[in-house]
Chains A and B, each alone.
Chain A
């Protein structure tokens, strides 16, 4: 696939219908979903653009974090009093009601932090699909990144331009994050 070049087709934000249409056309022209990537300034659901559903592990990472938080809380509220039992008032060493507070807080802490870590990890982990960016995206443009073999380039461009797209050739991968 060394010959494949990444292109970016930019649509104005009002031309969402055209963008959706363009994706359909690209698929017809033999560019697989795998080689298409949509970038946009606001979220569009996959249904709108007719794209396959993306998949994320954030929920699972969050859940795992919650479990870790829960276990830490169990240790802190039931384990530490056993290490060095210190009596306060007439309370038991491991009272359940007060432990619930600790367990709740630490479970939530685990959930929330690991959710964020999930976002972070997924962001920095390598993604497949075409890379490239254009500052117009953050001005509301919808960009369709695709890589196609050079031989079909012409026809694709023509099709897309007919739909009102602005084509950027040969998008270079830009290092957006250290």
Chain B
């Protein structure tokens, strides 16, 4: 069996490619059993988007232009959400080097969410029941969260684990691009690239070295694993 080395999963968001079409939101929601909450709840900021596109406006009419920036959990290397959880429901995976949200351990103090500078965490305010037969499309690989539980983007860890198990069973290492989160897989503009940052040859590593790279709120020292590539000209954030 091939020797496995710990991976550092990373994501690159090329804002010059990103159009703000939001396909990633839906791809994520349906892969991860994220419930929809309805108009009133969305209006009150209780939508459960694991990834959302921040759209700001730049300039004045007629030079006005929106800037789109998809923001998901940044899978910080030094995550502010982790140490504050009293029950280890928000922990760092030594194996995958990402932040885990352990739903079944969560007691719902919501401390992690307050302490996340990216607002990447969302809370199950209620039990969001699906009418029959809509439950049939729930992804059995992902736990359906009940009320009172925190959740967030996991880099589709279920796909990572499945991919690893498959690779191990076949006695090989994971190939670059073999595992992709749902958002990366769907992104029509190919603005999202996912891969192993510890492998300098992987596509994500190469892109993450781009001169256009930056991290969100870099000054906080959270060491995000999501790298943004600046838009060019007046385009992109």
Q: Which residues of A contact B (CB under 8 A)?
A: 86-91
**Partner pick for B90 among A88, A90, A91, CB 8 A cutoff:** A88
Chain B: interface secondary structure? loop
Q: List 5 A-B contacts (CB under 8 A).
A: A87-B92, A88-B79, A88-B82, A88-B91, A89-B80
CB neighbours of A89 from chain B (8 A): 76, 78-80, 82-83, 92
B123 at the interface (CB under 8 A from A): no
B77 at the interface (CB under 8 A from A): yes
Chain A: interface secondary structure? loop
Q: What is the size, in residues, of chain B's interface with A at 8 Å between Cβ atoms?
A: 15
Q: Which residues of B contact A (CB under 8 A)?
A: 76-80, 82-83, 85, 88, 90-94, 223
- Min CB distance A99 to B, Å, is 13
Q: Are A86 and B83 in contact (CB under 8 A)?
A: no
CB neighbours of A88 from chain B (8 A): 79, 82-83, 85, 88, 90-92
- Min CB distance A101 to B, Å, is 13
| Known pairs A87-B82, A90-B77 / 19 extra A-B pairs, C-beta < 8 Å | A86-B88, A86-B91, A87-B91, A87-B92, A88-B79, A88-B82, A88-B83, A88-B85, A88-B88, A88-B90, A88-B91, A88-B92, A89-B76, A89-B78, A89-B80, A89-B82, A89-B92, A90-B78, A90-B223
- Min CB distance B188 to A, Å, is 35
CB neighbours of A87 from chain B (8 A): 82, 91-94
- Min CB distance A83 to B, Å, is 12
